[in-house]
Amino acid sequence: MAKKACKNCKRVVAKGNVCPVCKTPDLTSSFQGVAVIFDADSEIAKRLGVTAPGKYALKV
């Protein structure tokens, strides 16, 4: 199964059809780039609007 990204929070979802962060089923398989966030307080996390560690798409 292809990976998808959440249109709402950009989280990359490897399994299932619901985002594990915001629980929305609004996913897309056409996303660009992946950033791995280890620290939700880092600058890149803030720029992406990320609040939890994990893999995120750069562009959805």
Q: What does the binding site for Zn ion look like in residue numbers (CB under 5 A)?
A: 6, 8-9, 11, 19, 21-22
Nearer to Zn ion, 4 or 11 (CB): 11
Nearer to Zn ion, 18 or 44 (CB): 18
Tell me the closest approach of the beta carbon of residue 55 to Zn ion, in angstroms: 12
Q: Could you please report the per-residue DSSP string of 27-54?
A: EES--EEEEEES-TTSHHHHHHT--SSE
Nearer to Zn ion, 25 or 42 (CB): 25
